[in-house]
Amino acid sequence: MTLLTDHDTVTLVRLLKMAYPHEAFPDGPYERTAQAVLAAVAGAPRQLAQLIQGLHDLDELREVPFAELDDDTALTVLRGIHEAAFFKNVRGVAVVALYDDHEVWDLLGYEGPSFDKGGYVDRGFNDLDWLPEPKISIEEASA
Amino acid sequence: MSRFDADDDDVVVVVGSGAGGGTLANELCQRGIRTVVLEAGPHLTGKDYHNDEWQAFSQMAWTDPRTTSGSWRLATDFPTLPAWIVKAVGGTTTHWAGATPRFKEHEFRIRSTYSDIDGASLLDWPITLTELEPYYDQAEVKMGSSHLHGRPPLPANNNYKVFANGAERVGYRRYATGPYATNAEPYDDRPATVQDGFNFQGDKGGSKWSTLVAELPKAEKTGKLDLRPDSHAVQILHDTRGRATAVLYTDSEGTLRRQRARVVCVAGNSIETPRLLLLSASALFPAGLGNSSGQVGRNYMRHTTATVWGQYDQPVRMYRGETMAGCIQDESRLDTSRGFAGGYYMQTIALGPAFFASFVAPGTWGPDFTSHMDAYRDTAGMWIVGEDMPQADNRVTLNDGVLDQHGLPVANVHFDDHPNDVAMREHAQRQGQAVYEAVGAKRTIVTPPYPSTHNLGTCRMSERPVDGVVDRHGRAHDVPNLFVSDGSQFTSGAAANPTLTIVALAIRQAEYIAGEYRRQGA
Ligand SMILES: Cc1cc2nc3c(=O)[nH]c(=O)nc-3n(C[C@H](O)[C@H](O)[C@H](O)COP(=O)(O)OP(=O)(O)OC[C@H]3O[C@@H](n4cnc5c(N)ncnc54)[C@H](O)[C@@H]3O)c2cc1C
């Protein structure tokens, strides 16, 4: 990706962290999501053009580059551009890629594929214990 | 697999191998009738499936282009994906969950029961519950619906425990883990569920009823089935008397082929079925095959749906176990004092984080959105499914401006919510939130409709030919050897999930077609 600089990638990663902030997430998932965004626009010249322009514009909106803004200011900046086509495109890819990331599944407490492990029949499909056991059939009032 | 000659004009050709088409084909084969099934999608089986939401979706879903219009929110959220339907052998029964409630008696007579509702095109079915009951029994036995005909209930999973306890505390009494067409114990040569949680994906184990694992293999054993995957029907041909004679379809190479037929049955699901009839317009049928009434494509219904999530300060892990093995029936009653006609069911639902992120609040982002995601493990989910009003202008038409890979105009799906639909949805959302709050939810989230999983009504049954497309057996009023064999036949949608009724109608239709063969001396 020669048209986008390393600085652009840094801006993009920062944008993703601000748009999808999770205290518990390390950088890895955001960096992989940024790569997914770049891969998606690689074959779409119009979207790539909008991304180049959009990331550049982000740096112009305040005194300092976007990647150096504090969290509150960065969020305010994003709210201001939330209708921008490039930002919508980024979100369209990111909401799929970020939450399809297996490290993210782990962090959110999702266990992924299960059939090959025998399903959950012996691994806690019914282990919730903070509520009483409910009935599972309707008792018809005797007619 | 048998292979019948393309010029053999004594076969029945069935378009589509899902709930309607796959069942019909098996029932015809069991009665000795040679049947060709044309299925647009590939022949995937359990070992091909992925325990992964997006992978499974890309592998199996119908992603050929479609367009949308109208005021429904889907036209904004998912403009090119009006429906979630499968394109593969087995059709959408490979992605379905398994909830199998029956229609209620009054739901076959909505015109008489609800009288006139402004803007709705209400019509009574030409058949009654009493007529369909024997076929419901057969369908439930075939599908192994839990709680019925000696099939045991499924156990309570985590998501159900939250749902059922909430139901009890708000005063609901008619809740259970079914009826649900997945094996709690081995049945019909298929295993018991291992509670793997991948119901909306493609069931690797085969404990869930589908036409892929239950109907088509049985049909094949009769030697009467010729199943052709990767075969997309593009037109139905007819003779000068207006009888269907053959189906044109493209094979896996994209070559156009013709299969002659004595009877043609269309079961492509309620968007593709009217599309195929409209694409089959001719000099004799200028508005589309079987469309002298102008009703083909109209009265499209998709159920009034929504999802409610409850988030707790303790783990739920809703994704473990059977996705929809939980149903509250109390709100499905006939009771217009709630401010709307029709009823609704509440059913458990679970999504993985990948689908949850896309569907929980489409288009949103930022800290509010991510706080939903952070509570993923502690989330319980329920789906609302209720009767929506048929409306003449909610409609599938051909969009001549957009072509698919075969050069065929795609379907446009136009839908406006009826005020009755909106009132029901709001009621159901409030009740759903109450259920979760009753067991201590620290937050509830209401999610707008997903791409439609239930698609109904676009070739509806009617007593009089001017009111609909097919008669009480699903036979086209205009074309005596053309049948519609899927949910397109539905005169109204009822509150119930549709598949049991599609299957019951297919069994009944097969019996009727077989009777006709006998009468005509086959
Ligand atoms: C996630 C999900 C969960 C669901 N859960 C439930 C549930 O719990 N209970 C319930 O009752 N229902 C449920 N459903 C709905 C259920 O799957 C459908 O009602 C049912 O499968 C519809 O049957 P059908 O025969 O009309 O169409 P389908 O099963 O969709 O089959 C139609 C077939 O026709 C093929 N086809 C279309 N056009 C052509 C053509 N031109 N040429 C050749 N082939 C063609 C398609 O590829 C497809 O395979 C669910 C659906 C989804 C997506």
Q: What is the pLDDT of residues B105-116, one digit of tens each?
A: 999 999 999 988
Mutate to test the interface with B, among A89, A93, A115, A127 (most CBs of B within 10 A): A115
Task: Please identify, by atom number, the ligand 1 atom nearest to the C-alpha of residue B21.
Answer: 25
Place of tokens 């647009």: B40
User: Could you tell me the strand order of the sheet in which B327-328 lies?
Assistant: B175-176, B327-328, B344-348, B379-386, B304-311, B443-447
pLDDT above 60 for B284 = yes
**How far B216 CA sits from the closest chain A CA (Å)?**
24
Q: Of the candidates B98, B328, B60, B308, which has an alpha carbon nearest to the alpha carbon of residue B199?
A: B98
pLDDT at B486: 98
Residue A125 to residue B174, Cβ atoms within 8 A? no
Q: Could you give the 3-state DSSP secondary structure of residue B461? A: strand
**How far B365 CA sits from the closest chain A CA (Å)?**
6
Does A81 lie at the interface with B, CB-CB under 8 angstroms? no
Q: Both tokens of residue A55?
A: 């990331």
Band of pLDDT at residue A141, cut at 50, 70 and 90: low
Q: What is the ipTM of this complex?
A: 0.95
- The residue whose C-alpha atom lies closest to atom 9 belonging to ligand 1 is B99
CB A91 within 8 A of CB B365: yes
CB B488 within 8 A of CB B494: no
pLDDT at A143: 43
Q: Of the candidates B295, B261, B271, B277, which has an alpha carbon nearest to the alpha carbon of residue B415?
A: B271
pLDDT at A140: 76
pLDDT at B115: 86
Ligand 1 pocket residue status of B324, Cβ below 6 Å: yes
DSSP conformation letters of B150-165: TPPPPPP-HHHHHHHH
Strand partners for B232: B250
Q: Is the dihedral of CA A41, A46, A50, A53 positive or negative?
A: positive
Sequence letter at residue B9: D
List the Cα angle B83/B88/B90 in 5-degree steps: 95
Does A131 lie at the interface with B, CB-CB under 8 angstroms? yes
What is the three-state SS of B483-500? EECCHHHCCCCCCCCCHH
CB B239 within 8 A of CB B245: yes
A 10 A CB-CB count for A15 gives 27
State how beta strands B35-38 and B12-15 pair: parallel
**How far B450 CA sits from the closest chain A CA (Å)?**
16
Ligand 1 pocket residue status of B110, Cβ below 6 Å: no
pLDDT above 60 for B306 = yes
Q: Of the candidates B3, B96, B10, B85, which has an alpha carbon nearest to the alpha carbon of residue B40?
A: B85
Residue A125 to residue B51, Cβ atoms within 8 A? no
pLDDT above 70 for A142 = no
- The residue whose C-alpha atom lies closest to atom 33 belonging to ligand 1 is B16
pLDDT digits (tens, 9 = 90+) for B404-414: 999 999 999 99
What rounded mean pLDDT belongs to chain B?
A: 97
Mutate to test the interface with A, among B195, B364, B368 (most CBs of A within 10 A): B195
pLDDT at A139: 84
Where on the phi/psi map is residue B119: left (φ > 0), alpha (ψ -120 to 50), or beta?
Answer: left
pLDDT at A2: 74
CB B319 within 8 A of CB A110: yes
CB B48 within 8 A of CB B240: no
Question: Which residues, including other chains, have CB under 8 Å from residue A20's CB and lie 6 or more apart?
Answer: A30, A94, A95, A98, B365, B369, B370
Ligand 1 pocket residue status of B232, Cβ below 6 Å: yes
Does A108 lie at the interface with B, CB-CB under 8 angstroms? yes
Residue A125 to residue B320, Cβ atoms within 8 A? yes
Does A137 lie at the interface with B, CB-CB under 8 angstroms? yes
Q: Both tokens of residue B16?
A: 């589509």
Band of pLDDT at residue B1, cut at 50, 70 and 90: confident
Alpha-carbon distance B162 to B316, whole Å?
A: 8
E-state strands within B16-112: 35-38, 67-69
Sequence letter at residue A118: G
**How far B63 CA sits from the closest chain A CA (Å)?**
17
- Interface size between A and B, measured as CB pairs under 8 A: 149
Alpha-carbon distance B169 to B165, whole Å?
A: 6
Residues 12-41 (A) with a CB less than 8 A from some CB of B: 19-22, 24
User: How large is the average pLDDT for residues A36-64?
Assistant: 96
Chain B residues near residue A17 by CB distance under 8 angstroms? none
Domains annotated for chain B, with CATH where assigned, are 12-43+84-519 (3.50.50.60)
Of A22, A79, A130, the CB nearest to B314: A130
Residue B365 to residue A130, Cβ atoms within 8 A? no
Does A130 lie at the interface with B, CB-CB under 8 angstroms? yes
**How far A118 CA sits from the closest chain B CA (Å)?**
6
**Terminus-to-terminus CA distance in chain B, angstroms?**
22
CB A107 within 8 A of CB A99: no
pLDDT digits (tens, 9 = 90+) for B243-264: 999 999 999 999 999 999 999 9
pLDDT digits (tens, 9 = 90+) for B349-398: 999 999 999 999 999 999 999 999 999 999 999 999 999 999 999 999 99
Does A99 lie at the interface with B, CB-CB under 8 angstroms? yes
What rounded mean pLDDT belongs to chain A?
A: 95
pLDDT digits (tens, 9 = 90+) for B98-157: 999 999 999 999 999 998 899 999 999 999 999 999 999 999 999 999 999 999 999 999
Ligand 1 pocket residue status of B200, Cβ below 6 Å: yes
> Residue B238: CA atoms inside 13 Å, Cβ hemisphere, count?
22
pLDDT digits (tens, 9 = 90+) for A72-105: 999 999 999 999 999 999 999 999 999 999 999 9
Mutate to test the interface with A, among B194, B351, B436, B437 (most CBs of A within 10 A): B194
Output DSSP code: residue B269: H
Chain A residues near residue B352 by CB distance under 8 angstroms? 105, 110
Place of tokens 């000696």: B150
Sequence letter at residue B254: G
Chain A residues near residue B194 by CB distance under 8 angstroms? 115, 118-121
Chain A residues near residue B197 by CB distance under 8 angstroms? 114, 119-120, 125
State how beta strands B35-38 and B304-311 pair: unpaired
Place of tokens 């009504």: B457
pLDDT above 60 for B242 = yes
B509's enclosing H/E stretch is helix B499-519
Ligand 1 pocket residue status of B498, Cβ below 6 Å: yes
List the Cα angle A24/A25/A26 in 5-degree steps: 120
